[in-house]
Amino acid sequence: MAAAVLQAVANLGNDHEQVVPITLFVAVLCLCLVVGHLLEESRWVNESITAIIIGCVTGFIILLISRGKSSRILRFNEELFFIYLLPPIIFNAGFQVKKKKFFQNFLTIMLFGVVGVFISASIITVGSWWLFPLLSFKGLTPRDYLAMGTIFSSTDTVCTLQVLHQEETPLLYSLVFGEGVVNDATSVVLFNAIQKIDVNRLDSRTVLRVVGDFLYLFTSSTALGISAGLLTSYCLKSLYFGRHSSVREISLMALMAYLSYILAELLRLSGILTVFFCGIVMSHYAWHNVTENSRITTRYVFAMLSFIAETFIFLYVGMDSLDIEMWKMTKLSFGTLIGVYGALIFLILLGRAAFVFPLSTLCNYMSKRTDRSSIVTLKHQVIIWWAGLIRGAVSVALAFKQYTYSGITGDPINATMITNTIVVVLFSTLVFGFLTKPLVRYLLPHVANSKASVLPKPRSPNEDITLPLISLEESTTTNLLRAKDSLSMLIGRPVHTIHSYWRKFDDAYMRPIFGGPNNGHSAC
Amino acid sequence: MAAAVLQAVANLGNDHEQVVPITLFVAVLCLCLVVGHLLEESRWVNESITAIIIGCVTGFIILLISRGKSSRILRFNEELFFIYLLPPIIFNAGFQVKKKKFFQNFLTIMLFGVVGVFISASIITVGSWWLFPLLSFKGLTPRDYLAMGTIFSSTDTVCTLQVLHQEETPLLYSLVFGEGVVNDATSVVLFNAIQKIDVNRLDSRTVLRVVGDFLYLFTSSTALGISAGLLTSYCLKSLYFGRHSSVREISLMALMAYLSYILAELLRLSGILTVFFCGIVMSHYAWHNVTENSRITTRYVFAMLSFIAETFIFLYVGMDSLDIEMWKMTKLSFGTLIGVYGALIFLILLGRAAFVFPLSTLCNYMSKRTDRSSIVTLKHQVIIWWAGLIRGAVSVALAFKQYTYSGITGDPINATMITNTIVVVLFSTLVFGFLTKPLVRYLLPHVANSKASVLPKPRSPNEDITLPLISLEESTTTNLLRAKDSLSMLIGRPVHTIHSYWRKFDDAYMRPIFGGPNNGHSAC
């Protein structure tokens, strides 16, 4: 059998170019699944680490079989990543998120995910601009430094989320998760905005233009995603597909979600943001318009696609890290390389600390007056800081976009930047990743102990206050009185109040058109 | 919005080569879904016809927008078809088939699906070899004629199956369905076998070699599929993935199925047969080893993937039919072309009639002595004949494989063969497809009337006889006596008896290892 496979591989060459790498990848993916399952209860390892290690081992074996030749089939292809692998991951994130918690902490999440990336990217850009020449690594252009700031500011929170649980530490989970998604989107959008800058004329207007570009992309992408989600919900509700076949319902949801992403990419918006909000809207409306079987299926099928795509990416990064040609091209001395890696890791640690702790303090100050339940303690801050240190697939994809042309580079400086990125990704995933479970266990002992010991959280009494501002059937006087109350509340607890208004509006106008649970108040 | 899209399309060009066609395809797929749903209760139209028509219209619009230039993005790519689109369709066929009926009619299905293709391909080859020069269409090589026989012998039964119902006419359904799958596999395997023939020395040894090749491919592909299915079932049962996550179970099933297909392709076996039997084994064992949610999800997710792939293919064929370059290249006169199309349609009708009626008579003669329930009446024979007249995606894919190089051809003869195939596919799908519902309604009025009127079928008394030949706990004498009974039965009703033995064996040895329903006798 093995001989037959080898012979077949040798024979095929040009004939079935795509078949060999696909077979290899699918086989290794299956292996990852089984190993990941067996290691599920391990204290140190998680799925990402397993996949990266298996990827490295596979890459090494291929290298041995091909006798040290680089195998072109295993080069990272950022188009594959952005067109096929990223959309299911982000859509599933939006589809499965607990919307209530997400929107209650919306301000904090946006501060971390947007302002944080700007701060971190600035620190990494300035720091590397100053440090790299000192380490005798020269030759990067200003645009390269700017891109580097963004590349190394995009976090990968998959690993940490495997340790935290939505039910046990809802605040922490929603902050880490929400920041992760917004951060992915922000770094891609910022990266694209930087590409348009005229680096020879860096002044305050440039900064303004980047910020303006960013805001435009952010709002238009979100609007597109919400529209796509609402359109799907409306179609499913009004045409009632389930009458004939559940298969069509599920297909329509999946295809519309993908369409929103790819349309956003076509219009040069941020597909990530679009598909994330499309996922939120679909789980809020469309999901309630389909048959029971379709509901179960969609929950699992989107999770499955996301899971496979994630594993695929980590495998890919693992295999790619042994791209021998890239390593040979680097002309720097060993000492310089170690210095550069150290500098990058230090800048990442610093850049993240520089926004997590100040912004948390700011948020705590804002919410201290009204809502003690959303205070971010110092322990939580440390976990948030740590959770975002891991660099993942988005970093690699952006690096390939910046420093290669169709996955190939002939320039030693660019090759070095690619290997730098891969080293940082491997180091952060393996070292920071290994330490995450112990750290969370140390800082939050009750989370790690057992799921059975979790007590039901005492509900904040404020949460139950309903604000019937838009109740149309009551007298004007009552409404005016209530509006006064509401107004004072709006000043005191802005996010919470907006959320309450939104729920009223949702029940009165949105759900009758786009669908939702029959009993009204259950979800977001 | 539309202007923005157009500008974006114009801008992108090389930048996001893949994004434009993907967006277009996904959008049109969504449209197909909605239109297909709205036309569900129509008397004439079915899903394939809808998709082909929408594809043609889209192709026409693109042609208008690009001002008559051919759009390269819409060329049929047979690698895409064989690597990504065909596997989910065939796997789902195996996964959803009613195994009991399928195996009870196994002999008939194999006669139609294997012997039938050989007969039909011979008639089409000989007929076109004789007719085409008379119609002044010359220049084809012997290999082209041989390939043509196979290309036009592969049926597309999707359309007919949308009219027949598994519950109402189980025999007819299982015959049409089973023949469809076996036929797909046979024509691809035969096509590959023909490629290896030395056409200059056509003698009886060549025929023997083709038959030998065919048998080798058939058995080894089936064995590979069964092994992959059993391995998955064993893994799922022994490791009990559902303990930690349903997502991993579902992913493993999907990935292993795909792995079996792609491995078969790598080993130059028939991926279609492999993945079909993998689907059967998985639904018989693996499906019972997973959580309840995973069962629902797998049922729908495989159906969904298959549905999307089918729609995609019909759209593709529809769009591709307007490939203007291909049409310009054809140098034949209009009269000759019409003659060639007519000849092909006639040969298809003849080739199919030449095996459906004789082979049905043969089957009826064989089973008349023992089992009256499996008699194929003349009406059924007409429906089976008609059901297989439609040519679909497999024909197009094989034609592109034979007559083009990466979807391009510079030769007028080859271009003509491609357009011939497309015309036959369009004509058969549209004309034969349109007439299928009325024909079935006319021949089998009770099927078309309403689902409520279906009476529960009287069960054949023979079906309930269990043959406890392998019951280990009984005395030898009893066993001997029963063995005698069984033996006489084996002669009388071979397939049925084998099936009974298989069930005994399955319950005693296979299910304890690979898993199955707890109550034992429910399924196959």
- The DSSP secondary structure of A471-488, one letter per residue, reads -TTS-HHHHHHHHHHHHH
Closest-CA distance, A91 to chain B, in angstroms, reads 16
Give dist(CA A240, CA B462) in Å, integer: 44
Q: Does residue B11 have a pLDDT over 50?
A: no
Structure confidence at residue B104 (pLDDT): 79
Kindly give the residue spans of alpha helices, DSSP state H, lying in A404-514.
412-427, 433-443, 445-449, 476-492, 494-505, 511-514
> In the structure, what pLDDT confidence band is assigned to residue B272 with cuts at 50, 70 and 90?
confident
pLDDT (mean) for A370-375: 65
Q: Does residue A421 have a pLDDT over 50?
A: yes
> In the structure, what pLDDT confidence band is assigned to residue A371 with cuts at 50, 70 and 90?
low
Residues in A closer than 8 angstroms to B303, CB to CB, are 247
Give dist(CA A82, CA A465) in Å, integer: 43
B86-109 pLDDT, tens digit per residue, is 899 889 888 887 777 788 788 888
The residue whose two tokens read 């050989």 is B118
Structure confidence at residue A342 (pLDDT): 92
Structure confidence at residue B513 (pLDDT): 83
> In the structure, what pLDDT confidence band is assigned to residue B459 with cuts at 50, 70 and 90?
very low
Closest-CA distance, B296 to chain A, in angstroms, reads 7
| DSSP codes, A207-245 | HHHHHHHHHHHHHHHHHHHHHHHHHHHHHHHHH-GGGT-
Q: Which of B87-101, B290-304, B313-327, B454-468 has the highest mean pLDDT?
A: B290-304
Structure confidence at residue A5 (pLDDT): 41
DSSP letter at A389? T
Whether B469 and B485 have beta carbons less than 8 Å apart is answered as no
Q: Does residue A212 have a pLDDT over 90?
A: no
Phi, psi (degrees; rounded to nearest 5) at A391: -105, 140
Q: Tell me which residue in A34, A259, A293 faces B30 most closely, judged by beta carbons.
A: A259
Give dist(CA A17, CA A7) in Å, integer: 15
Closest-CA distance, B497 to chain A, in angstroms, reads 35
Give dist(CA A313, CA A165) in Å, integer: 23
B366-402 pLDDT, tens digit per residue, is 776 556 666 788 888 998 898 888 888 788 888 888 8
Structure confidence at residue A58 (pLDDT): 87
Residue bearing the bigger pLDDT, A419 or B256: B256
Among residues A30, A250, A49, A95, the alpha carbon closest in space to that of B249 is found at A30
Among residues B485, B467, B492, B390, the alpha carbon closest in space to that of B184 is found at B390
Tokens of B164: 């027949």
Residue bearing the bigger pLDDT, B406 or A278: A278
pLDDT (mean) for B350-366: 89
Q: Other CB atoms closer than 10 Å to residue B423's CB: what's the count? A: 17
Phi, psi (degrees; rounded to nearest 5) at A523: -90, -135
> In the structure, what pLDDT confidence band is assigned to residue A484 with cuts at 50, 70 and 90?
low
The answer to whether the CB atoms of A19 and B83 lie below 8 A apart is: yes
3-state secondary structure of A408: strand
DSSP letter at B455? P
The residue whose two tokens read 């890239």 is A326
Q: Residue A368 burial (CB < 10 Å; 0-12/13-18/19+)?
A: exposed
Q: Does residue A502 have a pLDDT over 90?
A: no
The answer to whether the CB atoms of A307 and B251 lie below 8 A apart is: yes
Choose the weakest-confidence range: A32-46, A206-220, A375-389, B134-148: A32-46
pLDDT (mean) for B313-339: 80
Structure confidence at residue A369 (pLDDT): 58
Percentage of chain B exceeding pLDDT 70 = 78
Give dist(CA A393, CA B47) in Å, integer: 39
Percentage of chain A exceeding pLDDT 70 = 78
The answer to whether the CB atoms of A267 and B40 lie below 8 A apart is: no
Tokens of A393: 């697939």
Choose the weakest-confidence range: A246-250, A338-342, B482-486: B482-486
What is the pLDDT of chain B when averaged over all its residues?
78
Q: Tell me which residue in A19, A38, A259 faces B26 most closely, judged by beta carbons.
A: A259
pLDDT (mean) for A26-42: 86
Whether A181 and A158 have beta carbons less than 8 Å apart is answered as no
3-state secondary structure of B269: coil
Give dist(CA A117, CA A179) in Å, integer: 10
pLDDT (mean) for B287-301: 89
Q: Does residue B505 have a pLDDT over 50?
A: yes
3-state secondary structure of B493: coil
Among residues A275, A281, A296, the alpha carbon closest in space to that of A231 is found at A281
pLDDT (mean) for A306-333: 81
3-state secondary structure of B408: strand
Q: Tell me which residue in B19, B258, B263 faces A266 most closely, judged by beta carbons.
A: B19
Among residues A364, A319, A269, A250, the alpha carbon closest in space to that of A59 is found at A319
3-state secondary structure of A388: coil
Structure confidence at residue B231 (pLDDT): 94
Q: Per this entry, what is the length of chain B?
A: 524
Q: Does residue A456 have a pLDDT over 50?
A: no
3-state secondary structure of A155: strand
Tokens of B121: 């391909």
> In the structure, what pLDDT confidence band is assigned to residue B440 with cuts at 50, 70 and 90?
confident
Buried/exposed B360-379: b ≥16 CB within 10 Å, e otherwise: beebbebbeebbeebebeee
> Angle formed by the axes of helices A393-403 and A86-96, to 10°?
150
* ipTM for the whole predicted complex goes beyond 0.85: no
Q: Tell me which residue in A247, A255, A256 faces B303 most closely, judged by beta carbons.
A: A247
Structure confidence at residue B522 (pLDDT): 41
Residue bearing the bigger pLDDT, A34 or A165: A34
Residues in A closer than 8 angstroms to B4, CB to CB, are 267
Residue bearing the bigger pLDDT, A373 or A142: A142
The answer to whether the CB atoms of B252 and A30 lie below 8 A apart is: yes
Interface test with B, best of A301, A401, A405 (most B CBs within 10 A): A301
Give dist(CA A343, CA A132) in Å, integer: 8
A61: amino acid identity, one letter: I
A100-147 pLDDT, tens digit per residue, is 778 878 888 888 988 999 999 999 999 999 998 888 888 888 888 988
pLDDT (mean) for A488-510: 71
pLDDT (mean) for B14-32: 80
Q: Does residue A378 have a pLDDT over 70?
A: yes
> In the structure, what pLDDT confidence band is assigned to residue A347 with cuts at 50, 70 and 90?
very high
pLDDT (mean) for A289-298: 89
Closest-CA distance, A15 to chain B, in angstroms, reads 10
Whether B132 and B341 have beta carbons less than 8 Å apart is answered as no
Give dist(CA A318, CA B465) in Å, integer: 58
Structure confidence at residue B472 (pLDDT): 40
Give dist(CA B8, CA A398) in Å, integer: 22
pLDDT (mean) for B318-324: 78
Closest-CA distance, A337 to chain B, in angstroms, reads 33
Q: Does residue B426 have a pLDDT over 80?
A: yes
User: What is the pTM assigned to this prediction?
Assistant: 0.82
Structure confidence at residue A11 (pLDDT): 42
Structure confidence at residue B407 (pLDDT): 62
- Collect all residues with Cβ–Cβ distance below 8 Å to B258 and sequence separation of at least 6: A26, B87, B91, B275
- Collect all residues with Cβ–Cβ distance below 8 Å to B12 and sequence separation of at least 6: A266, B19, B20
B189-245 pLDDT, tens digit per residue, is 888 878 777 767 667 777 788 788 888 888 999 999 999 999 999 998 888 766 777
Residue bearing the bigger pLDDT, B384 or A469: B384
pLDDT (mean) for B495-504: 75
pLDDT (mean) for B507-512: 83
A54-77 pLDDT, tens digit per residue, is 988 888 888 888 776 655 555 667
Q: Does residue A452 have a pLDDT over 70?
A: no
Give dist(CA A394, CA A416) in Å, integer: 18
The answer to whether the CB atoms of B301 and A301 lie below 8 A apart is: yes
> In the structure, what pLDDT confidence band is assigned to residue B450 with cuts at 50, 70 and 90?
very low
3-state secondary structure of A140: coil
Among residues B15, B77, B150, B63, the alpha carbon closest in space to that of B401 is found at B77
Give dist(CA A213, CA A259) in Å, integer: 23
Closest-CA distance, B270 to chain A, in angstroms, reads 14
pLDDT (mean) for A283-291: 89
Give me the torsion for CA of B9, B11, B13, B17, rounded to 10°: -60
Structure confidence at residue B1 (pLDDT): 40
Residues in B closer than 8 angstroms to A86, CB to CB, are none
The answer to whether the CB atoms of B267 and A20 lie below 8 A apart is: no
CA atoms within 13 A on the CB side of A245: 21
pLDDT (mean) for A467-478: 42
The answer to whether the CB atoms of B5 and A266 lie below 8 A apart is: yes
The answer to whether the CB atoms of A244 and B40 lie below 8 A apart is: yes
pLDDT (mean) for A282-301: 90
Buried/exposed B465-474: b ≥16 CB within 10 Å, e otherwise: eebebeeeee
Interface test with B, best of A82, A161, A251 (most B CBs within 10 A): A251
Classify the C-alpha dihedral B143-B149-B150-B152 as positive or negative: positive
Q: Does residue B473 have a pLDDT over 70?
A: no
